[in-house]
Structure 1
Amino acid sequence: MARCPKQRKKAVIAAVSAYLELLFNFINLLLRYYEALESEHEQAVEHVSSWETPIARQLARNSFMRCIVSHGDISCTMLVRMNCRTFQKLCMLLRDEGGLRCSWNIEIDEMVAIFLYTIAHNEKNRQLQATFRRSGETNCRVIKLVMRSVLKLHSILLRKPKPVLHNSDDPNWKHFKNCLGALDGTIVNVRATKENQERYRTRKGTIGMNVLGVVDQNMEFIYCLAGWEGSAHDGRVLRDALIRPNGLKVPRGYYYLCDAGYSNCEGFLSPFRGQRYHLKEWGGRRPRSPEEIFNMRHSTARNGVERAFGILKMRWAILRETTWFSTKMVTKIVNACCLLHNFIRGENGADVFERLYVDEDPDEETEDVEEDLILHIQPNVDDDVI
């Protein structure tokens, strides 16, 4: 018996309703499934996966460590910013001189690798857990232990200042007899609390800390002072470095090169103001006065500290990006990075990051400048003394 149109309409509506309800339940099931997958992925990154056996975790760690110590210098440099031989020597130095000790389940080379990988790539703890198959607590503890050992090497890795000799043939430094090196300041991004953000706000509007660095003629650090707020003036940071018990020392008769942001006084030689200074300002043109000759020579030599900071930030991503560490921790990390910079330059041979670094002020030919003009230049004496 055929249904009437009204009954047929009700049947169609019921069928469509059932179909829509089934489709809705299916979509809801898919969403729940994807949410479960995402939650499982986050838990696998935050914590070591529950399904992964201890043997599988150890095999994964061994595989990653082989990439560092056994797969060649290219892989090792990409991961921890130094070649295999330098990495092994650093591990031995931290063990013998830094007091670093392994535990029952983690060796020294893995501890050092966790620390270097963190500062080289600015990795968060969650990513470290996935890479090294270690818990977040273990990673934090290892980073602090290794950093403490690196800082203990300051008397070994910080370079002793050596003056430029009268018979020096270094084209960048031979014009500055008895000069010990060059100094400058840089900004390292940090996370500041809301009440301290204005203190750490720099001239460019970013939140960072002011770092004073002093390097020798080989672009290796003699002294580093980190921790000052980004709003602090460079001269104020330098004054603090000079009055500290273990601060920057300037023997009488010697001096450091500094830019116009610092005062010109005994122990610190800044350029002439109101004259061309930075190398990019010359544009291939010859200097037209003794003051410009002095400024050009000064800029060429002092460019070493700018290059040192550039290479330092290129090597350690944690210094050029905002990190998840506290401000106090970043202060220690900056000092550790400077020490490791010296160690790598002394042990690693050719520095690949120095070759990759693109100088904003490329060196120019200045050998054809008349040398006798430079003899009549004297530093400014009208500037305020620090």
Structure 2
Amino acid sequence: MIVEEIMFQSFFAITFVIRLILDGRSGWTVSVHFHAVLTVVLKLHPLLLVTPTPICDDCTDIRWKNFKGCLGALDGTYIDVQVRLVEKPKYRTRKGNISINVLGVVDRNAKFVYMLSGWEGSTTDSRVLRGLRVPFGNYYLCDNGYTNSDGFLAPYRATRYHLNDFGVGRSRPQNKKELFNLRHLRARNVIERSWGMMK
């Protein structure tokens, strides 16, 4: 990877930590190369922009047919980073790692259609989500780390949700909430698989 690409990716991924890019380079050099790469990326915009298609009424996919208007699923993940000692507290996750919080959104075919990175590891998932705009009448499936709101559908809280809860030999859903959660889980699992392939 050439220096220009590395600088562009670093800036794009962690926009608010530009001083890391400047480390050992002049501001002019960073600016010139960043704008050169940005110009090329903007020319590729029609090829790079992916607009997810909502689930329609005649969907036959057993995982998605119950979620009309759904655009896909989203979830956050942590990616370990190196930061200065004074900045470590805000990047420290609840598990003690020094990371950034990255929001990923995939369509039902496990293709990433949106990614937002750069938030400090201590930032809550719901705070990171504020930057995502969802077309009116559509929504994304999310886990219960997020709250139900316009554009986001989370499972019922305090109700069985994880695959292990419904595994072989375990009881089937006992009520409407458990059935909804099982269907939600099976569809939303696409983001878990996508993150698993990325990592």
User: TM-score, with normalisation over the residues of structure 1?
Assistant: 0.41
For the residue of structure 2 that corresponds to 1:222, the secondary structure is strand
Query: How big is the shift at 1:171?
Result: 1.6
What are the ranges of 5 or more consecutive residues in structure 1 without an aligned counterpart? 1-110, 120-140, 242-247, 314-386
Q: Which residue of structure 2 lines up, in the alignment, with residue 231 of structure 1?
A: 122
CA–CA distance in structure 2, aligned partners of residues 180 and 157 of structure 1? 18
Is 1:161 aligned to 2:45, yes or no?
no
Structure-to-structure mapping, 1:341-360, within 5 angstroms? none
Q: Is the 8 A contact 1:158 1:223 kept in 2?
A: no
Is 1:267 aligned to 2:151, yes or no?
yes
Is 1:254 aligned to 2:145, yes or no?
no
CA–CA distance in structure 1, aligned partners of residues 125 and 41 of structure 2? 24
Which runs of 4 or more aligned residues in structure 1 lie more than 4 Å from their structure 2 counterparts after TM superposition? Answer: 149-152
Is 1:199 aligned to 2:90, yes or no?
yes
Q: Which residue of structure 1 lines up, in the alignment, with residue 110 of structure 2?
A: 219
Q: Which residue of structure 2 lines up, in the alignment, with residue 307 of structure 1?
A: 193
For the residue of structure 2 that corresponds to 1:273, the secondary structure is coil
What are the ranges of 5 or more consecutive residues in structure 2 without an aligned counterpart? 10-29
More helix by share: 1
CA–CA distance in structure 2, aligned partners of residues 148 and 201 of structure 1? 31
Q: Which residue of structure 2 lines up, in the alignment, with residue 186 of structure 1?
A: 77
User: TM-score, with normalisation over the residues of structure 2?
Assistant: 0.77
CA–CA distance in structure 2, aligned partners of residues 215 and 291 of structure 1? 25
Structure-to-structure mapping, 1:55-66, within 5 angstroms? none
CA–CA distance in structure 2, aligned partners of residues 154 and 231 of structure 1? 32
Query: How big is the shift at 1:269?
Result: 0.6
More strand by share: 2
Structure-to-structure mapping, 1:61-100, within 5 angstroms? none
Query: How big is the shift at 1:151?
Result: 4.7
- Cα offsets for 1:144-194 (capped at 9, x unmatched): 78x946854454224202100111111211110010111110001100110
Note closer, same or farther for the CA distance 1:260–1:310 as it changes in structure 2 (3 Å cut).
same
For the residue of structure 2 that corresponds to 1:187, the secondary structure is strand
Q: What letter matches 2:197 in structure 1?
A: I
RMSD value over aligned CA atoms?
A: 2.5
CA–CA distance in structure 1, aligned partners of residues 146 and 124 of structure 2? 9
Query: How big is the shift at 1:266?
Result: 1.8
For the residue of structure 1 that corresponds to 2:52, the secondary structure is coil
Greater Cα radius of gyration, structure 1 or 2: 1
Structure-to-structure mapping, 1:1-386, within 5 angstroms? 148=37, 151-152=41-42, 153=44, 155-239=46-130, 241=131, 248-284=132-168, 285=170, 286-313=172-199
Q: Is the 8 A contact 1:179 1:257 kept in 2?
A: yes
Query: How big is the shift at 1:230?
Result: 0.2
Query: How big is the shift at 1:222?
Result: 1.5
Note closer, same or farther for the CA distance 1:151–1:227 as it changes in structure 2 (3 Å cut).
farther
Note closer, same or farther for the CA distance 1:278–1:312 as it changes in structure 2 (3 Å cut).
same
Note closer, same or farther for the CA distance 1:276–1:221 as it changes in structure 2 (3 Å cut).
same
Query: How big is the shift at 1:203?
Result: 1.1
Q: What letter matches 1:263 in structure 2?
A: T
Note closer, same or farther for the CA distance 1:199–1:151 as it changes in structure 2 (3 Å cut).
farther
Identity %: 52
Q: What letter matches 2:160 in structure 1?
A: R
